């Protein structure tokens, strides 16, 4: 399924005639690492938002 999808996409953008570009376009070796990096970045943004939202409340608790 993936191979036929990439072939269709490659054909649609004109890579069908150039095997070197088509091979590079279909190369998925680092896709998983990039996806994990994006997930980690999203989790980091969520943690930063929560910490900033609760930071003042926690500081006031310890200040009392």
pLDDT tens for each residue of 8-31: 666 665 555 566 666 666 666 677
In DSSP notation, 7-62 reads HHHHHHTT-TT-HHHHHHHH--TTHHHHHHHHHHHHHHHHHHHHHHHHHHHHHHHH
Q: For position 10, what pLDDT does the model report?
A: 61
Report pLDDT for 40.
96
């Amino acid at each position: 399924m993936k191979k036929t999808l990439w072939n269709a996409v490659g054909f649609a953008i004109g890579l069908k005639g150039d095997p070197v570009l088509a091979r590079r376009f279909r190369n998925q070796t680092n896709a998983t690492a990039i996806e994990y990096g994006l997930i980690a970045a999203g989790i980091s943004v969520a943690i930063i938002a929560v910490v900033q939202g609760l930071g003042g409340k926690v500081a006031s608790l310890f200040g009392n």
